Structure 1
C-alpha cells in the first residue's frame, strides 16, 4: 500500500542517530515524494455523445501525464477511463472543462463527483454560444481523497437531443488532478 512519507523526527541531539536510515526516512523520502507527487493531465480525443438532460461522466483516452512516486499513476486508458483513482491520501486540486459541438439550445454544465456522488459546490451551468463549438471550464476545487477514492468530471446539456463533445485541439474535454497536501488531523 503506497503511503505519503511523514517526517516525524524522534531522535535526540545524538549525532550517531543521524545515520542513513534516519536521513532517508526523514529527508530523502519526503523530498522524493514532493518532487514526484501524484498528478495527471487527461484529455478526450474521441467525441462522446451526452444524452439530453443527463449528467454523464466524461471518458478520457489520452494521458499527457499520469505520475506518482511509484510511477503507477491513478488513471487507466483501458478500464474505467472516466476515473482518476487516488493511490495516496490527501487533498487534491481538480480542474478541467468540456468542449461542446455547436448548438445554441439549452444549457451546458459540469460538476465533479467523488466515488460517483456529486460534490457540493462543484456544479456549473452556462448558456450555449450563439454558434460554433465552445469550451466550458469546470470549477477548480480541492477535494479530500483517501486511497482508493476516485473522482470524475461529469458533463450536462439539455439541447433537446443528444449532443457530442468536441475534440478540436484547443477545445478537448480535459481533467487535471494534482495532489496538493497531506490531511493533517
Structure 2
C-alpha cells in the first residue's frame, strides 16, 4: 500500500442497475481493504541520542516498526510525512535516564525543517525529573492532517549535564495511524 495518497471512494448503485464484479469490488472490497490496513507508521531511534543541557535536540528516527504509506523519510529520518490526508491518531514518546535535576520536555512540531523554532508546535509535554527512575514522556491525541505536512520531535532537558535519550522500539519515537476523514 505504499504511496496511497487518497482514501478510496465508495461506489453507488442505481435502481435496476446490473451488478458487475468490477463495480461490486469498487463498492466494497477496495474500501474495506483500505480500512483493514490504513496508512500508519511507527518510527523510533535505535541509537541513544545525546541531549546537551538547555538545548532542543532533534530526535532522529533511524528505524521503522512499520510504514504502510511511505511516511517515514529515509533522507530526513527525523520526519514522518503525511501522504494520505485525514484524521490521525498520533503518539510521540521518549525516555530520559535517571537524573534528579530539572525537567524533561518533548516538543512535537509540524513543518519545522529540523529547527526547534520553525514550523508550528502541535503539542508539548514536560515533566520534572525524578531521581532513581527514568523520566518517560508520552502523549497520544487525534490530529487532522493534510498531504505534504511532516512532523518532527524535539527533546529538551536542563539537568546541567548532557543526557542521552534511551533508544528502542516504543522507547523514543513517533507513531501515526489514519482513523478517518
For residues 1-185 of structure 1, the aligned pairs below 5 Å read 2-9=5-12, 11-16=13-18, 18-68=19-69, 73-76=70-73, 78-116=74-112, 117-120=119-122, 122-137=123-138, 139-167=139-167, 172-182=171-181
For 2:39 and 2:164, the matched residues in 1 are separated by 30
Structure 1 counterpart of 2:115: none
Task: Specify whether residues 32 and 170 from structure 1 end up closer, same or farther in structure 2 by C-alpha distance, changes over 3 A only.
Answer: closer
Higher normalized strand content (fraction of residues):
2
Q: 2: distance between equivalents of 1:171 and 1:40?
A: 12
How high is the TM-score relative to the length of structure 2? 0.84
Count of aligned residue pairs for this structure pair: 172
- Quote the Cα distance in structure 2 between the aligned partners of 1:95 and 1:123: 12
The 8 Å contact of residues 2 and 88 in structure 1, kept in 2 or not, is answered as: yes
Deviations 1:43-67 (A, max 9, x none): 2110111233233331111211111
Query: How far did residue 148 of structure 1 move?
Result: 1.5
Are the counterparts in 2 of residues 97 and 136 from structure 1 also a CA contact under 8 Å? yes
RMSD: 2.1
SS at match of 1:15: coil
SS state at 1:105 partner: coil
SS in structure 1 of the partner of residue 27 of structure 2: helix
Normalising by structure 1, we get a TM-score of 0.82
Question: What runs of 5+ residues in structure 2 fail to find an aligned partner?
Answer: 113-118
Aligned 8 A contact 1:133 1:166 in 2: no
Gaps of 5+ in 1: none
1:153-175 Cα offsets, whole Å, 9 max, x none, are 221111224321122x5872121
Instruction: Find runs of 4+ consecutive structure 1 residues off by over 3 angstroms.
Output: none
CA offset digits 1:38-89 (Å, max 9, x no partner): 1122221101112332333311112111114xxxx2113x321111111101
In the aligned structure 1, how far is the partner of 2:129 from the partner of 2:170? 15
- 1:133 deviates by 3.0
